[in-house]
Amino acid sequence: MGETILAGSALLSIFHALIPSHWLPILAIGRQENWTSRRVLWVTFLAGLAHVLSTVLLGSALAAIGGVLAARIDVFAYWMAPVLLIALGAFYIYRHYYHHHFHLHTQNLSWGVVTTLMVAMFFSPCLEIEGYFLSAGQFGWRFVVLLSVLYGLLSITGMLVWVTLAMQGLKRINWHRWEHNAGLITGVTLILSGFALFFID
């Protein structure tokens, strides 16, 4: 069961690192401000770190709730946790058809660009991953830390890889279409993870 949670969260972490709104604005600002490639990557790292930090903080609170539920309600691990993931997945699929995802705009960022980016990313935690944190609470804090590290490494590394590729000329990909389908892919991933928890003990 723990392996299913880790696998699902890893897939979601990798996918979310590819979402253009997480890193494309940094490229746009870097071009506008004439940043070097090294500075673009450094700012991407800082923005990703802020995003991961807020996600893990919120996730830790949810993990604590999940741990209490698992200790007091025996059915949580076998029924509620999978249902929560499936329900969250259904929500993201529903929202996909009515819109939308976090968009970071680049206007009015001439002062304090890096700080602004970090604050914007901090206040837009990855809510999609939080269902995994809630489910992870039943396995204890070592498991939650493992999940946090896995999420953080995959998210930040993914952002850095895609920024690097984009700077090297990856311009023909239809980023709008990719981002437009983000909710659908997220929802399917969450639902599959939830069903997997039902059948994998």
Residue 40 neighbours by CB under 8 Å, 6+ apart = 26, 27, 30, 163, 167
Residue 165's domain comprises 2-199
Overall number of domains in the chain:
1
**Model pLDDT, residue 44:** 93
Q: Which of 103, 99, 128 is nearest to 187 (CA)?
A: 128
Both structure tokens of 155 = 């998210």
What is the model's pTM?
Answer: 0.71
Give the range among 16-20, 79-83, 180-184, 194-198 with minimum mean pLDDT: 180-184
Is the pLDDT reported for residue 19 higher than 80? Answer: no
pLDDT tens per residue across span 136-148 = 888 899 999 999 9
